[in-house]
Amino acid sequence: MKTKLFTLFAGVELSASCTARVALTTNFWPESSGPGRRRLGKVRGCMTKLNLCSMAIMVGLALPHSSSATVYLTDDFSTYASGNLVGQQGWNQVGSISTLPIQVSGGRVAIPGLAGGSGDNQDAYKSLSTLVTAPSIANTTNKVFYGMTITVTSTAGDSYFIAMVETNSGNNGNGFADFRLTASGNASTYSFGARVNGQTGYPYFYGAGLAYNTTHTVIVEGDMINGNSNDIVEVYVDPTSSDVTAQTPYVAAGYSSGEVADPGTIGFAKYSQFTIPGNGQDGVLIGRLAVADNFADVFNSLRVNIQIASIMQSGNDIVLKWMTPGGTTNQLQVTSGAGGGYSTNGFTNLGPQMIIPGTGVVTTNYTDTGAATNKPARYYRVRLVP
């Protein structure tokens, strides 16, 4: 699979006659196949000083095709209507329990924290685009990755809130729940935990303590290994790139003994609400969800896209502001060109690589000194490194 490259393009046209207009357009396209879908961004008035008059800004996200990768599910819950999750975009109710229906609120799936003994409430499932089967050939491994942007607001025991579900019960999301993810902690910190399935031979493994009410990117890797009682589940928290080999697992749950059966064919993603006396449910907010057969596709599906916030003249300078994922490295690049066009081969680095601090969406900026005198046009793009 090819390395994925994210880029953002911004162009400034510097001409003698002001058209008093700034257009912002976002394009996402596979790098090798030209522009794909587009959407119009915002329109601003332009500056008249120094003949900086017409600005055409394009924002691009380059996504090369992956020849062998399969994405099973992607969800951005900011595109959902607030209210019941079930009934929207392929989400269905598991079984007959409909109490406390799972909500979409503020663009996120909201599972409320409940104390132990609060009852059993609605679960929801969505079909994967392709079934994920356990390997039948010796010494082979089939992998499933699922990830989410998640904020943990409270914890109460070790019931899982999300899992991949098998087809053993049919096409109803009510089968065995595998590669379970939970959170457990105390008043000050919590830890994510994962297990292969619900059998006693596959207990939860927990990672280090994290702060509540902070958004993380979490990716769970399920390794379905030929043979019994030998599967592995790993958890990655805030991975730094799409290269799984460059990441250190937050949890690596390997099992070398046991008497239990391994996961079978997986067909669904499932949100679970469940309490019993002594074991409540965690409060979580999930903004995006992705399932694939590889780490990179999940990682990239969870990323916040780079977006231009503004491009302004300041004296002889051009000041660019853009929104970008925290915890990444950005490289601004620039090329000159005629008004209305540029060569993608002509870009050179502008300034040093910028290490973007924090998590979530971060607004950053760069001042291109003296750039407003570069007529007739100047084009920028931001590259996510690597």
In the complex, the residues that contact Ca ion under the rule CB under 5 A are: 225, 230-231, 262
**Neighbour tally for 76: CB within 10 Å:** 15
- As measured in angstroms, the least distance from the Cβ of 139 to Ca ion is 11
Q: In the complex, which residue's CB is closest to Ca ion?
A: 262
- As measured in angstroms, the least distance from the Cβ of 108 to Ca ion is 34
Which of 15/230 has CB closer to Ca ion?
A: 230
Query: DSSP assignment of 101-126, as one string?
Result: --EEETTEEEEPPB-TTS-----EEE
Which of 231/282 has CB closer to Ca ion?
A: 231
- As measured in angstroms, the least distance from the Cβ of 270 to Ca ion is 21
Q: Is 174 left (phi over 0), alpha (psi -120 to 50) or beta?
A: alpha
- As measured in angstroms, the least distance from the Cβ of 255 to Ca ion is 9
Which of 75/262 has CB closer to Ca ion?
A: 262
85, 87, 91, 96 alpha-carbon torsion, rounded to 10°: 90
Burial of 320: CB neighbours in 10 Å, binned 0-12, 13-18, 19+: buried
Which of 221/262 has CB closer to Ca ion?
A: 262
Which of 226/279 has CB closer to Ca ion?
A: 226
CA–centroid distance for 367 within its chain: 29
How long a stretch of residues is the chain? 386
The one-character DSSP state at 259 is: S
- As measured in angstroms, the least distance from the Cβ of 134 to Ca ion is 7
Which of 196/320 has CB closer to Ca ion?
A: 196
Which of 105/230 has CB closer to Ca ion?
A: 230
- As measured in angstroms, the least distance from the Cβ of 167 to Ca ion is 17
- As measured in angstroms, the least distance from the Cβ of 176 to Ca ion is 14
| Whether 123 contacts 273, CB under 8 Å | yes
Q: Give the tokens for residue 23.
A: 């257009």
